[in-house]
């Protein structure tokens, strides 16, 4: 590597950047012939940091800075390289060498250039770059993934009106990138504050993608070898948890956003009247998204069973539901004086439906006792009470351990079942019998 470095030092910045990609392409192509997963050692990374990200190797040396035109030319060089390299394994290892965070001062430049490169790839539809970015999102800590997501949202949903149409087009070009992008933006926009409510253009695009093909958000899960223990601090296998958070918290978050300010300690009737929740467009989009999420959850039982993961892998972690319920409870307490009963009921209805379908499909693994404890402090909601006090019979699915929430089609008590203690209440009239149809789908309560 030292000989290559001395050669590169004699070149201008752009020529050196192009040359280092050429040398590393040869180096890793040779490595891949002897090992399927070569280890990226320190030498190639240092060359990339010095000649692509302009981080000087010697201490005390002032870093070189590319002007805007040179940076654009560098992005074009990189885009063309990934487009022309036909071997995916070589592309992936070069991309990883370039943009995997190293925990050093080069990371800011690395992330900045990555955001611009992926933004350019979206604009000119460079599928190899998008596919590499999808892999990068899957194996990179979430704190960096949300930075890339924010850069793309800024470029295509905030800065230039109408530019979201360009981002929409990658749906058919790289569904895998779209899946990872959705997972990233749901991690970024968690509705914890008004600034973290997703922009309308982003929301509309995400909803339309998922509504058009609900299986889009399962692409990573369906095409990834599942490890015994999923790594902590990385993106989840699906964006389902984040999308459930969007649907459930949206009514309350939008109501909070339009919360009236106090004047002399009082809120006038006119201000309260004008401080309604979300607008009609957003309301319809979140309702449409909620329906799509429920449909995806219903698909999961088949996929989990096919992978022999039913009852063994929870794609929606119970530990991630705990903070969601706590946030709903906090928002409900905060908004209650503002006559937000309709928004609270809608949020709890959606939470109940999501929990019911997620548990029935095997996506969420928890006991009824866990669920009762989790939801005990929430405001009363009829549908939620029905879910947490579900049928007592054990699930017929052998993969689920005793005590786990039974299958959605298990007949509730009183419907064709023999009472456990028929003589306990002799004075009570007999409940009329009903035929239980095992193939019937769960009658979801419609969302207003």
Of all residues in the chain, the percent with pLDDT exceeding 90 is: 58
* 3-state SS assignment for residue 177: helix
Contact between 262 and 205 under an 8 Å Cβ cutoff? The reply is: no
Tokens of 285: 């989009």
Query: Between these two residues, 314 and 445, which has the higher pLDDT value?
Result: 314
For residue 408, pLDDT beyond 80: no
Residue 406 banded pLDDT, cuts 50, 70, 90: very low
pLDDT for the residue 327: 96
- Residue 418: how many other CB atoms lie within 10 Å: 6
Residue 414: per-residue pLDDT: 36
Rounded to a whole number of angstroms, the distance between the first and last alpha carbons of the chain is 65
Contacts with 176 (C-beta within 8 Å, 6 or more apart), sequence order? 131, 134, 219, 220, 223
In this predicted structure, what is the pLDDT of residue 290?
Answer: 98
For the cut 70, the answer to whether the pLDDT of residue 195 exceeds it is yes
pLDDT at 339: 75
- For 264-278, how does the pLDDT look when each residue is reduced to its tens digit (9 = 90+)? 455 544 444 444 557
**Tokens, residue 248:** 């459930």
**Mean per-residue pLDDT of the chain:** 83
Supply φ then ψ for residue 263, to 5 degrees. -120, 115
Encode pLDDT of 136-151 as tens digits.
Answer: 999 999 999 999 999 9
pLDDT of residue 253: 94
* Whole-structure pTM value: 0.83
| 291: pLDDT strictly greater than 90 | yes
* pLDDT tens digits, 22-62: 989 998 888 888 777 767 777 888 888 888 888 887 766 66
């Amino acid at each position: 590597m030292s000989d290559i470095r001395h050669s590169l030092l004699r070149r201008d910045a752009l020529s050196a950047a192009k040359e280092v990609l050429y040398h590393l392409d040869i180096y890793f192509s040779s490595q891949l012939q002897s090992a399927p997963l070569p280890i990226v050692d320190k030498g190639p990374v240092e060359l990339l940091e010095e000649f692509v990200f302009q981080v000087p190797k010697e201490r005390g040396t002032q870093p070189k800075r590319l002007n805007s035109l040179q940076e654009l030319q560098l992005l074009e060089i990189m885009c063309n390289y990934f487009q022309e390299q036909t071997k995916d394994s070589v592309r992936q290892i070069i991309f990883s060498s370039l943009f995997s965070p190293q925990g050093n001062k080069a990371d800011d430049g690395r992330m900045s250039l990555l955001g611009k490169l992926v933004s350019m790839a979206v604009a000119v539809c460079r599928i190899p770059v998008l596919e590499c970015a999808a892999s990068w999102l899957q194996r990179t800590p979430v704190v960096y993934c949300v930075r890339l997501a924010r850069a793309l949202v800024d470029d295509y949903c905030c800065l230039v009106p109408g530019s979201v149409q360009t981002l929409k087009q990658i749906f058919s070009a790289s569904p895998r990138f779209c899946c990872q992008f959705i997972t990233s933006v749901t991690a970024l926009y968690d509705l914890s504050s008004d600034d973290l409510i997703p922009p309308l253009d982003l929301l509309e695009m995400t909803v339309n993608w998922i509504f058009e093909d609900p299986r889009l958000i399962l692409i990573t899960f369906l095409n990834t070898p599942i490890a015994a223990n999923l790594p902590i601090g990385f993106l989840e296998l699906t964006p389902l948890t984040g999308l459930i958070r969007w649907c459930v918290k949206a009514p309350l978050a939008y109501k909070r956003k339009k919360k009236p300010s106090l004047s002399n300690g009082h809120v006038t009737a006119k201000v309260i009247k004008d401080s309604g929740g979300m607008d009609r467009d957003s309301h319809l989009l979140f309702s449409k998204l909620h329906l799509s999420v429920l449909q995806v959850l219903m698909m999961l039982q088949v996929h989990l069973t096919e992978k022999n993961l039913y009852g063994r892998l929870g794609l929606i972690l119970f530990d991630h539901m705990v903070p969601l319920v706590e946030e709903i409870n906090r928002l409900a307490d905060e908004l209650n004086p503002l006559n937000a009963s309709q928004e609270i009921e809608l949020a709890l209805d959606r939470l109940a439906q999501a929990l019911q379908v997620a548990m029935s499909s095997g996506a969420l693994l928890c006991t009824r006792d866990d669920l009762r404890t989790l939801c005990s402090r929430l405001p009363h909601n009829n549908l939620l009470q029905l879910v947490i006090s579900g049928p007592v019979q054990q699930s017929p699915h052998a993969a689920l351990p005793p005590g786990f929430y039974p299958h959605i089609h298990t007949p509730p008590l009183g419907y064709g079942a023999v009472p456990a203690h028929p003589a306990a209440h002799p004075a009570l009239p007999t409940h009329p019998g009903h035929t239980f149809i095992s193939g019937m789908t769960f009658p979801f309560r419609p969302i207003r």
